[in-house]
Amino acid sequence: MAFARKKNKDSGGAPTPPPDALTPEPALVASAAAPTAAATDPVASSAPGAPKAAMPPVAVPTLSGSNKRLGEQLIGSRLITPAQLEAALAAQEASGERLGETLVRQGVLSEQALVHALAAFFGFDVANLRRDNVDPATLNMVTEEVARQYMVVPIRMNGTQLEVAVAEPSEDLRKALSELVGHSVALRIAPLSDIRWAIDSHYQAIGTVGKLVQAFESVEGSRRRAVETSSEEVSVGDDAPVVQVVDRILTQAMRDRASDVHIEPSEGVVRVRYRIDGALKEILTLPGAIGPGLVSRIKIMANMNIVERRRPQDGQLTIVIDGIEVDVRVATAATIMGESCVMRILDKTRSVLRLNDLGMPTDTHLAYSKMVRSPFGMVICAGPTGSGKTTTLYATLSEVSNPTLNVMTIEDPVEYVFPSINQIQTNDQAGITFATGLKSILRQDPDVILVGEIRDVETTRVAVQSALTGHFVVSSLHATDSVSALHRFLDMGIESFLIASSVLGVVGQRLLRRICPSCKSVYTPTPEELDFYHDGGGTQSDGFFQGTGCNFCSHTGYKDRIGVYELLIMTPELRRLVVGWATQEELRSMAVRQGMRTMRQEAIGLVDQGITTIEEVIRSMYTL
């Protein structure tokens, strides 16, 4: 069977631990001699792998008991001050949460520091899930249901003893797990966010795809025989293998933080790839026969025409994954090997960033904030696909929106919903395009207008006219950098004096992958990397960092991304050059002389700070 699962660094990114996840303080456990009736233990008395009842309650530290002793140990270790302890105890008493949760929430302690302090206080070893490899054989001993219910991860068998990482260790939990797996259990403490990540990483939704493919081949053979012997149509239910494969692919993509899912037919096989942190990773290789079924299932979910396989189609669907409602944009195209499908995943639960959270340098942020508060004019966010333009646009809206302004948008699609903003979504069937929608917005007395993307001449002309008639317009444009965005306007046929009069500034941007903090280490760049680094203005001669690869980053060395920006402000000198149809080199030279730092210079600065690598800058910055 042509099914294969990629491993190690090709296995896709692991889900990001939530930044605000708190490590709960372990329950104060009873002594080993305390009586615990096995009959009252719902996990021990239930069938292995399928516990349904809740765990028996355990004693929780009281405010006057272990919380104060833990606080005294934290003070003795110089992790917190007496004043911080008093404030945390007061907040903990009011909220009812554990002391450790309060200290992390208040920013007094990091999760890792708290875990080590708790391990010393309660006498448990610390499990480093970021470095320690989980033995796949132990995953069969604790089901995903049990792992998620009690926040536990089996690590390895140490002789006859199973080591388990837990967020809230207790004697009751240890005994229940021991009864469940049939082995002695040793508990190790780990941060709750690490536990959640490890569960999502190791209990993968696509882990059973191989069995589903086998079922598909069996069902497909039966269906073909039925079609040959009968004229009746064979129905396909929601539990059909193809349906379940699509659900598992989308579920795993969400857990792996993938922005796009690619289903690509090739010779005899179908490749499934995820785009994680801007880079594609091959996840699955499926038999070629299942490809048309996968695309047809996705088309049905997105209300697309399943009969038409020659023309490109676009659609959209909404699906609930792990309790989260997710919008998925679907695009299909016919290739010489069959019909390919790309799905863009839009997580509605992601919070909209503020301008000061984008990662702009302080002076760039101040200049941009001042620019976007102009009463009229146009500001452009320029960059290639996947460079974070939409995120910057939404951050800009959140900055300028207030009750005294009428803010309206035309988008395709509406990715984030603002309660105080009037948002319009394009609809080709209803005749609502960017151009027609923008014209209708102008009759709605707007103060601020967001155009999701400038794609054609008509939209550009209406946007320029809006900026010249007293409206503030922000939009995105596909271009390589800030200077090339101005030339794209010229190429569209917009008069140069209109561009010079309407555009206030252009933000060029890219997204670079960050070095994984869990495996960050010093390394020596290659001579080619050093040449690129020094050509970009770098002066550092030692202390370069890279990620060596660990469980948290799926052995890629990178985790999450950071924005790189260049801000071109339209000064009188630049306006004169634009009117005179100056070349891109002339415009860039003038902008640099007037203080603009290029994206390449900003990226080299991130290398100096140990945030990214020279290799990543070369991959993303091209030859700028």
More confident residue, 178 or 552: 178
Q: Which of 136, 130, 181 is nearest to 156 (CA)?
A: 136
Distance between CA 84 and CA 103 in Å, rounded? Answer: 8
Output the six-digit token pair for 476: 């995105």
Distance between CA 569 and CA 594 in Å, rounded? Answer: 9
Output the six-digit token pair for 88: 């945390």
Amino acid at position 176, single letter: A
The 10s digit of each residue's pLDDT in 183-203 is 899 899 998 888 888 888 888
What pLDDT is attached to residue 221?
Answer: 59
Q: What percent of the chain has pLDDT over 90?
A: 40
More confident residue, 239 or 145: 145
Give the pLDDT mean for 618-624: 73
CATH of region 355-510+561-596? 3.40.50.300
Crossing angle for the helix pair 241-255 and 209-229, to the nearest 10 degrees: 150
CB count in 10 Å sphere of residue 335: 10
Q: Which of 329, 209, 308 is nearest to 261 (CA)?
A: 329
Give the pLDDT mean for 105-115: 82
The 10s digit of each residue's pLDDT in 489-504 is 999 989 999 999 999 9
What pLDDT is attached to residue 558?
Answer: 92
Q: What percent of the chain has pLDDT over 70?
A: 84
Distance between CA 355 and CA 507 in Å, rounded? Answer: 13
Distance between CA 599 and CA 512 in Å, rounded? Answer: 11
Q: Per residue, what are the HEC states of 223-289? A: HHHHHHHCCCCCCCCCCCHHHHHHHHHHHHHHHCCCCEEEEEECCCEEEEEEEECCEEEEEEEEEHH
What pLDDT is attached to residue 622?
Answer: 65
Q: Which of 343, 257, 355, 324 is nearest to 559 (CA)?
A: 257
Phi-psi region of 174 (alpha: psi -120 to 50; beta: other; left: phi over 0): alpha
In this predicted structure, the answer to whether residue 231 has a pLDDT above a threshold of 50 is no
Distance between CA 135 and CA 154 in Å, rounded? Answer: 8
Contact 460, 435 (CB under 8 A): no
Distance between CA 119 and CA 463 in Å, rounded? Answer: 60
CB count in 10 Å sphere of residue 8: 9
Distance between CA 613 and CA 619 in Å, rounded? Answer: 10
> Model confidence at 460, in pLDDT bands (50, 70, 90)?
very high
Contact 452, 475 (CB under 8 A): yes
Q: Which of 61, 54, 25 is nearest to 176 (CA)?
A: 54
Contact 562, 606 (CB under 8 A): yes
What is the residue whose two structure tokens read 């800009």? 396
> Model confidence at 418, in pLDDT bands (50, 70, 90)?
confident
In this predicted structure, the answer to whether residue 292 has a pLDDT above a threshold of 70 is yes
- How many helices and strands, by DSSP H and E, does the chain display? 23, 20
How big is the chain by its Cα radius of gyration, in Å?
28
Give the pLDDT mean for 481-486: 93
Overall pTM > 0.75: no
Q: Per residue, what are the HEC states of 548-589? A: CCCCCCCCCCEEEEEEEEEEEECCHHHHHHHHCCCCHHHHHH
> Model confidence at 222, in pLDDT bands (50, 70, 90)?
low
Tell me the backbone φ, ψ of residue 39, rounded to 5 degrees.
-70, -25
Distance between CA 610 and CA 603 in Å, rounded? Answer: 11
In this predicted structure, the answer to whether residue 591 has a pLDDT above a threshold of 70 is yes
Output the six-digit token pair for 42: 């719902």
| Strand duo 407-411 + 448-451: pairing | parallel
35-39, 405-409, 435-439, 617-621: which has the minimum mean pLDDT? 35-39
The 10s digit of each residue's pLDDT in 131-163 is 778 888 888 888 888 888 888 999 999 888 899
Q: Which helix (H) or strand (E) holds 506?
A: strand 503-515
Q: Which one-letter DSSP state was computed for residue 66?
A: H
What pLDDT is attached to residue 102?
Answer: 82
Q: Which of 308, 300, 315, 361 is nearest to 507 (CA)?
A: 361
Contact 440, 457 (CB under 8 A): no
Contact 265, 272 (CB under 8 A): no
Q: Which of 506, 496, 516, 513 is nearest to 473 (CA)?
A: 506
In this predicted structure, the answer to whether residue 7 has a pLDDT above a threshold of 80 is no
The 10s digit of each residue's pLDDT in 9-38 is 444 444 444 433 333 333 333 333 333 333
Distance between CA 12 and CA 115 in Å, rounded? Answer: 28
What pLDDT is attached to residue 264?
Answer: 95
In this predicted structure, the answer to whether residue 8 has a pLDDT above a threshold of 80 is no
Cα distance from N-terminal residue to C-terminal residue, the chain: 46
Distance between CA 571 and CA 587 in Å, rounded? Answer: 11
In this predicted structure, the answer to whether residue 171 has a pLDDT above a threshold of 90 is no
Q: Which one-letter DSSP state was computed for residue 126?
A: E
Q: Which CATH architecture has domain 24-202?
A: 2-Layer Sandwich (3.30)
Contact 354, 399 (CB under 8 A): yes
Q: Which CATH architecture has domain 206-347?
A: 2-Layer Sandwich (3.30)
What pLDDT is attached to residue 51?
Answer: 40
Number of Cα atoms under 13 Å in the Cβ half of residue 48? 10
In this predicted structure, the answer to whether residue 224 has a pLDDT above a threshold of 90 is no
What pLDDT is attached to residue 67?
Answer: 60
CB count in 10 Å sphere of residue 259: 16
Q: How many residues does the chain have?
A: 624
The 10s digit of each residue's pLDDT in 30-78 is 333 333 333 333 333 333 333 433 444 433 333 344 566 778 878 887 8
Contact 591, 568 (CB under 8 A): yes
Q: Which of 65, 53, 57, 147 is nearest to 98 (CA)?
A: 65
Q: Which one-letter DSSP state was computed for residue 108?
A: S
Distance between CA 509 and CA 566 in Å, rounded? Answer: 6
Output the six-digit token pair for 174: 């240890």
Sequence-distant (6+) residues with CB within 8 A of 19 are none
Distance between CA 323 and CA 182 in Å, rounded? Answer: 32
Displacement of CA 254 from its chain's centroid (Å): 8
> Model confidence at 366, in pLDDT bands (50, 70, 90)?
very high
Residue ranges of the chain that CATH labels 3.30.300.160: 24-202
Residue ranges of the chain that CATH labels 3.40.50.300: 355-510+561-596
Distance between CA 573 and CA 587 in Å, rounded? Answer: 9
